Structure 1
C-alpha cells in the first residue's frame, strides 16, 4: 500500500476504533525479533532485539493516542535468560537498560514505569536501570502505566504471590489450615507483580505464534487474545488498530 493510502487508511481506522469500546489494559507479547532479523538478511540476529527494543516507545505512543492507560510489555522471560547464549542475553539486557528503560524516563515520556519479574536476579546494571526508571517516573501525573516484564514467568509469579501471602498470614498468627480453609482469589491478587492494576482486557502476540508462553497466566484468565502474523519490529500501527478493532467486536463473557 503506497504511503499516502496507508496514512489515510490508518487515520480512518484510528477514528473508527476510538468510537468503539477500548481496552483499559493491553498486554504485549513482543515476539519475532530474531526471525525479523533473519528475514531482513542480518548476519547478527541480535540486531533484531535492538529494532524490537526501539519499537516499544512507538507502540506506546499508539496506546497513548487512543487513551489506553495500562500496558504490560513482555520483554524477556525466565526461559529466555536460561536458554539463550550469554552474549545474546548480555546484549538484550543492555538494550533494556539503555533503550527501553532509558527512553521511558525522558521528561516527556508520560508513562509511570512498573516492573514484573525476578528483577533482583538480573545483572546488577539492569536491575539498577529498571529500578531507577521506576523511581524517576513515580510522580508521573498522566495516569498512564507501563509494566516491563523482564525475567518474568507467570507460574513463578503465582508461586511468589502464594509464598508472600503465606508469610504474611503466618506473621499474623494464622495457621496453614486456616489459610487453606479461607483462601480466595481476592487474597492472592494483592501479592501479584501487577497488584493495583486492572487485568489485561486484550493480549496481543506478534509473529504468528498462538500461545501465551507463560505470560500473565493469572491475570489473563478472561482476556481477549489477538495473534498477529507480523514480527514485532515490523508490527505497524495498522496491525495494532486492527487488534483493537477485533477487540471491540467481541462479546466479553468472563467465563459465563
Structure 2
C-alpha cells in the first residue's frame, strides 16, 4: 500500500486533493475500477450504532468516490452493492439495503446528470423489490444520453450465476445450430456476460481488510490488479481513492509476458 496521507477536516484536505488529482491525471489512468465496498457493519459496531447506520454512511462514500473517480478520468466505476448471497442477511437489514438505491438516487441523481455520469446495473434485476427497480430504472433512463463516466452498480449480482447464465446462452446458441464447438472462445464468453459492453476492470479495490473476491466478477478480473485496504468503506475518502490509483500506476502490468528487463 502507498504511504498514508494525513486526513484532517475537509477544508484542510481540499488543496491536497487538488494537487494529488493533478498528479494521478498526468499518468496512466485505469479505464475500469471495480470496488467491493466492505466494512459498513464494522464501522457502525465500532461506534455502537446499528448496522444500517453504517450502510447509510457508506452511501455518502459512494457519492464522494463517484465524484473523485469522475474527476480522475476513470471511464467505468463498478460498485459491488448487493450480492446474491446477501439475501441471507436479516430481513430488517435487507429491507434497508433495498431502500438505499432510491434514497441515493433521489438525492444525487441531479448531480450525476450534471457531471455527465451514466448509471448502469449488472445483476438479476427482476427479483428486486418494485421500489428498488423503479429507482434504478429511472436513473438508467435519465442518464442514458450521458457519455461521461459509467457508474455501474452490481446489484443482486453473483459471478457464478452470471457464468451459469452465460453457459446456458451459449448452449442455446449451439442447440439452435448458430455456433459450432470451435466457436466457443474467450470472446464468445465475454460477449455473453453482463459486462459485455464494458472494458474488463484494470483495478479491483476491496475495503475493510478482507482478502477475497466474494463471488465478484470472477471471469472479468483475470488480469486486474488487486488492492486490499484495511480502511472501512465509510472511511474510504477521496485521498484513499487517489492513493489506490497511484499504487496502480506504480505497478508493472505484464499480462503473462515479460518486462523490458526480461523479468517474468
TM-score under structure 1 length normalisation: 0.90
Q: Deviations over 1:30-51 (max 9, x none)?
A: 1001111111221x21111111
- The separation in 1 between residues aligned to 2:63 and 2:31, in whole angstroms, is 18
- The separation in 2 between residues aligned to 1:101 and 1:118, in whole angstroms, is 22
- The separation in 2 between residues aligned to 1:116 and 1:93, in whole angstroms, is 15
Residue of structure 2 in register with 1:241 after alignment: 242
3-state secondary structure, aligned to 2:114: coil
Measured after TM superposition, the shift of residue 103 of structure 1 is 2.5
3-state secondary structure, aligned to 2:126: helix
- The separation in 1 between residues aligned to 2:93 and 2:170, in whole angstroms, is 36
The answer to whether structure 1 residue 112 and structure 2 residue 113 are counterparts is no
* Cα 1:109–1:97 shift into 2, 3 Å: farther
Comparing 129-138 with 203-212, greater Cα deviation is found at 129-138
The answer to whether structure 1 residue 14 and structure 2 residue 21 are counterparts is yes
TM-score under structure 2 length normalisation: 0.88
The answer to whether structure 1 residue 231 and structure 2 residue 238 are counterparts is no
Residue of structure 2 in register with 1:255 after alignment: 256
Judge conservation of contact 2:119–2:152 (CA < 8 Å) in 1: yes
Measured after TM superposition, the shift of residue 11 of structure 1 is 3.1
Measured after TM superposition, the shift of residue 188 of structure 1 is 1.0
Q: Deviations over 1:92-118 (max 9, x none)?
A: 000122214762365424211111111
Aligned residues: 249
3-state secondary structure, aligned to 1:220: coil
Among candidates 28, 35, 54, match of residue 28 of structure 1: 35
Judge conservation of contact 1:203–1:224 (CA < 8 Å) in 2: yes
Gaps of 5+ in 2: 1-5, 258-264
3-state secondary structure, aligned to 1:50: helix
Among candidates 47, 52, 62, match of residue 46 of structure 1: 52
Q: Deviations over 1:64-111 (max 9, x none)?
A: 111111110100111111x10111101100012221476236542421
Residue of structure 2 in register with 1:190 after alignment: 191
- The separation in 1 between residues aligned to 2:138 and 2:91, in whole angstroms, is 24
